[in-house]
Structure 1
């Protein structure tokens, strides 16, 4: 059992592990052009390096939470950190794209072990509500720095030693986490059933759907259509299997909860738009990796810092108002980004657009956590976080696939603004859904929730 005096060090270690996971999603963006040059791959190839990570993470997040409940959070956490560090080194040593994709997928699986188990460990270390709330705030603050630091740190690493350095950095971070968390943390175990089939079905649906998008980008319409039908069939089969599973991804209490699924859709929409910006800009800006990292700062700093102000907004007005504010700011910001990338030498327009995008993310994501939890039945509240994170990664996976295929045609004279326009449309759809009357009439929709202050 953990020694109380070591709790601060362990909290820092747990937070640093989540920092490492989030850093990997942002630090890679600025390395994309260097990966393309080094491995001689196109935009679609580097797109798969992004999507395969988020695909694996989305497919395994709920399973990772169930595994932590079944065998204990500490061994799952430690195994995830060790695996993440080792897979990162393997990514750095990859001789070609195929090897990189394999190890990126493993990174996603190990990240899916780290994310849910880290919160379980905090709950075990801090059993009183007050200290636990403060600990979660520290966890959120430390991990939130990854969003702001990722592009800048990644740009510096790429400049110093190429794209492989952005993976090498994870190895010493993992060692620091293991040292800080070397004292075992006792956590409750639950005799929960586990089932691989729903998660494998989800992974297959996302993988085939991504292939369909890439084939559509190549104008192979027949193959894209066939793959799309296969993806839809796999998704439908996954739903059927999940309903019959002893350990479903979606508990029965959530299946017909329309409001919660709207919240999940908002999470996917926000991550779609965010990933579109982070993935696309490094490929469009004629700048060094360091310059790209600095360019993204107006957005990433707000994503890291503004959730604290969003918590106060939710406390005063409920979650729907900041959600709507976010879905107003985001498409306007994407419009400015599209205008800036369509022309040349428009840093002010681009910076203002990224600022609005940062407000869009930081207003929306923290608030929709509280909205979804507030509409869930008590017995299903624990599942909401896992499914919400999974649907967010689904949005990121689709965004990277769409952006990579649309930007491929830029070299054939296609416009660079297309991915940003598509993302803006997705956000507008989010805004329309956030104004549905039945959400406003719901007694929980405007009720302030402490969950709204939980990390993204």
Structure 2
């Protein structure tokens, strides 16, 4: 195996820059959703796909990208990811419709999978000395946390300044510079005995996820009992079963299902999926609430997330320092239960509430998210033998992206239904015709918030505005209540499943690098 010993600093810098970009694009779009909705006359399904069209290929292709890097060369795949991500970002900036933006986000997400799958192994090869490698991995982990924390702020500043297209356009010069550094300063590396890519498994997983998400996102508009939606769910189920069978029988599976025989790994994996689904998935609808219901500008909306992101940013390194002194069932299970408490504290909104009602919940949920992110990878790795460390880390990170994609889709169903019902209830019996009430309810459910008042006579605007504010608060409250229940169940399960690790043999350098991927 070749090792990059010539330019380790450049390797760390370019990998961190690339990973920062791709993770920033998970959260930076949240505060731009209001502008996208106006410019493209987008409905809620279009906005959901802005997020899920990115996370779906990122989740479905991440493990395959890592395998391709091992076989073809990590630098080559990393460079291809940079080129694809940069091209996709430029295309997103030039998008002319919601559909075109969603398609270009798929290109971005595919490039992001190539980058995420090869970035950390490149760092591992560049820093063969264990002490220096540990420091490099610490920088990498801080990059992940920082990207998540500043996403809403960066997005808000760009949307309020030069416009929403710049949240994508800013990636272009950074991507080109990173591509040049990759070409001239990174050395190729690959393991001696690389695994084969499981293309059948990749197709089954990605196809099943797409069918499931499309069914969830289109269910409200097309009817949950319609042939299309029922058919999509049947296809999703068949492909998912096919994926599991494939992984159980393949000689070199994409996902080693035997990992889940470890209760500790299963508990840690469950915590990753649920925290991502509930908390990260909820940011889409919290952003719409800030933008369209409370009327904040994108930058002001980004500032409202600071208590959450700062709490997570501060909690993560503190948790990492004490993790070895505390039982993992307390750190993993306790962090998810903290997230559950934080979500429950966000259920107290009503039509007259200021955004500050959310601050206590933001802080508690942020602490839980930060602690979980700091410890879950180490706990997952301690549950498996060193030879499967890379696979374990890849599965954990795949579940993280799957959680985000699923959360955006499921919470869209909950939010849309609750908001529409509340508007209908509050406006029934008013001077508005029934058809107008239904139209207003659908628009509010799609995230339009108090902007729906533009469609009614002046004399009714106060009534409709109050209904829209109450409905937005009710939608967030219902979403966070269900999220708190899901997190509470997952937290209890983690407390039961996660166990203290047994002493393990030293991990080879090729396996240490993937082991340290921190949480998003």
Q: Which TM class, normalised by the smaller chain length?
A: over 0.9
Q: Distance in 1 between matches of 2:257 and 2:407?
A: 29
Bigger Cα displacement from structure 2, 327-336 vs 282-291:
327-336
Give the drift of 1:411: 4.2
Give the drift of 1:163: 1.9
Aligned to 1:455: 518
Structure 2 residue runs without a partner (length 5+)? 423-470
Q: 1:86-126 CA distances to partner (integer Å, 9 max, x unpaired)?
A: 10110111111221111111111111110121111111110
Aligned to 1:419: 479
Aligned to 1:428: 488
Q: Distance in 2 between matches of 1:259 and 1:324?
A: 11
Q: 1:342-386 CA distances to partner (integer Å, 9 max, x unpaired)?
A: 343434321221111111111112222122111113322210111
Q: Is 1:236 aligned to residue 237 of structure 2?
A: no
Larger-Rg structure: 2
Q: Distance in 2 between matches of 1:344 and 1:8?
A: 53
Q: Is 1:402 aligned to residue 403 of structure 2?
A: no
Alignment coverage as a number of residue pairs: 452
Q: Distance in 2 between matches of 1:121 and 1:84?
A: 18
Q: Given the alignment, which residue of 298, 306, 315 partners 2:307? A: 298
Bigger Cα displacement from structure 2, 155-164 vs 28-37:
155-164
Q: Secondary structure at the match of 2:185?
A: coil
Q: Is 1:264 aligned to residue 254 of structure 2?
A: no
Q: Given the alignment, which residue of 348, 351, 366 partners 2:359? A: 351
Distance 1:270 1:168, change over 3 A: same
Q: Is 1:380 aligned to residue 392 of structure 2?
A: no
Aligned to 2:8: 7
Q: Secondary structure at the match of 2:60?
A: helix
Aligned to 1:36: 37
Distance 1:337 1:126, change over 3 A: same
CA contact (8 A) 1:57 1:109 kept: yes
Alignment of 1:215-294 (within 5 A): 215-218=218-221, 220-223=223-226, 224-251=229-256, 253-254=258-259, 256-285=261-290, 286=294, 287-294=296-303
Aligned to 1:173: 174
The ranges of structure 1 where at least 4 consecutive aligned residues each deviate by more than 6 angstroms after the TM superposition are 449-453
Q: Distance in 1 between matches of 2:374 and 2:142?
A: 13
CA contact (8 A) 1:15 1:142 kept: yes
Q: Given the alignment, which residue of 193, 198, 220 partners 1:195? A: 198
Give the drift of 1:310: 1.1
CA RMSD, aligned part only?
Answer: 2.4
Q: Distance in 1 between matches of 2:95 and 2:78?
A: 25
Q: Distance in 1 between matches of 2:26 and 2:300?
A: 18
Give the drift of 1:229: 2.6
Q: 1:271-330 CA distances to partner (integer Å, 9 max, x unpaired)?
A: 012223311111111211001100001112233342211112211113221222212221
- Length-normalised TM-score, structure 2: 0.82
Bigger Cα displacement from structure 2, 219-228 vs 93-102:
219-228
Distance 1:77 1:304, change over 3 A: farther
Q: Distance in 2 between matches of 1:343 and 1:321?
A: 37
Give the drift of 1:388: 0.7
Aligned to 1:186: 188
Alignment of 1:18-33 (within 5 A): 18-33=19-34
CA contact (8 A) 1:124 1:186 kept: no
Aligned to 1:149: 150
Q: Secondary structure at the match of 2:239?
A: helix
Give the drift of 1:187: 1.3
Distance 1:226 1:396, change over 3 A: same
Q: Distance in 1 between matches of 2:518 and 2:359?
A: 25
Q: Is 1:206 aligned to residue 209 of structure 2?
A: yes
CA contact (8 A) 2:124 2:133 kept: yes
Q: Is 1:339 aligned to residue 348 of structure 2?
A: yes
Give the drift of 1:47: 0.5
Q: Distance in 1 between matches of 2:195 and 2:501?
A: 33
Q: Distance in 1 between matches of 2:84 and 2:516?
A: 30
Q: Distance in 1 between matches of 2:146 and 2:498?
A: 33
Distance 1:79 1:304, change over 3 A: farther
Q: Distance in 1 between matches of 2:77 and 2:359?
A: 41
Q: 1:5-60 CA distances to partner (integer Å, 9 max, x unpaired)?
A: 64323311111111011100010111111111111111121001111211111100
Alignment of 1:104-119 (within 5 A): 104-119=105-120
